[in-house]
Amino acid sequence: MITMRETFVRVASELLVSDPRVAVVLADISTDQFARAARRYPDRVINVGIREPLLISVAGGLALAGMRPIAHTYAPFLVERPFEQVKLDLVHQGVGAVLVSVGASYDAASSGRTHQAPEDVALLDTLPDWTIHVPGHPGEVDTLLRAAVASDEPVYLRLDETSNRDAQASGTGLVVVRRGGGPTIVAVGPMLSRVLDAAKDLDVSVLYAATIRPFDGDTLRAIAATPEVILVEPTLAGTSVRSLTDALRDRPSRILCLGVGRRELRRYGQPWEHARAHGLDASGIRASIDAFLAS
């Protein structure tokens, strides 16, 4: 299967051809994949070296000059290390950029904590006006990236090596995957297939979100038939709980937040092993749902 990262490189390379405002800014990550584009557009494929604060500042400066920058590296180096640059050199300047990360929460499980960023979305969520996409399948990346580049707004596109079995319809709202009479489960990005496996014999509604900011509270309100809402995210547990409580503020609700735990795992291994350790494989999700509904 073509990965999200490969799809990103293909689409970004096509956008360099079709839109002279587009510039790709790199920090020594994915430079091989963009080598051909860099030869063709040396002024618009910019590798600043291993200088991630500069990566974001350059993106901000490019936007100030009227360009549409796409800044790309691993999530901890795109969002966490240069967070002040994101806050001041983009948001405070009143300009946008498209930030595209790889690595997600623990794609780099074997690399250890330094290369993992389950907190990235929560951190960006402290800033106003960001559109945040967490696609769950490579087939969703093309449309999301093209729409992001076509705007001038700040957009974060979080790519993951884990994928759902099938791509969902592209768009920014919640997708109703299953309609039931019981609790509602909101599956974010690559958590959908595991949620469907976990809940296959439960009378639940399953909603899918590839775009979590802005959050589609209207669809959640329309579908949620009971007070129980279960949020399953590939990021830090509870990343989107504020959006849920805001959407459901006029009705009683009980919310279970599943996601990556705050405590450091201090293990290496494979991403699926980290998912299991955080209770984010299908059996772990099911166990948490059963305990929640029985409480």
Binding stretches for another protein (CB under 8 A): 20, 23, 43-44, 46, 48-49, 51, 53-54, 57-67, 69, 84-85, 88-89, 92-94
- What's the closest the beta carbon of residue 51 comes to another protein, in angstroms? 4
- Exposure letters 89-125 (e unless 16+ CB within 10 A, then b): bbbeeebbbbbbbbbbbbbbbeeeeebbbbbbbbbbb
Min dist CB 98 to another protein, Å, is 14
What is the rounded radius of gyration, in angstroms, for the C-alpha atoms of the chain? 19
Query: Rounded to 5 degrees, what are φ and ψ at 98?
Result: -105, 115
CB-nearer residue toward another protein: 57 or 235: 57
Answer yes or no: are the C-beta atoms of 44 and 22 closer than 8 Å: yes
Nearest distance, CB of residue 7 and another protein, angstroms:
25
Nearer to another protein, 62 or 100 (CB): 62
How many angstroms separate the CA atoms of 164 and 1, rounded? 12
By beta-carbon proximity to another protein, the closer residue of 67 and 199 is: 67
Residue from 217, 265, 270 nearest 240 by CA: 217
Q: How far is the CB of 67 from another protein (least distance, A)?
A: 4
Smallest distance from the beta carbon of 271 to another protein, in angstroms? Answer: 31
Q: What angle separates helix 4-18 from helix 141-150, to the nearest 10 degrees?
A: 40
Looking at the Cβ atoms of 59 and 275, the one nearer to another protein is 59
At residue 118, what are phi and psi to the nearest 5 degrees? -65, -15
Query: Quick one: 69 or 135, whose CB is closer to another protein?
Result: 69
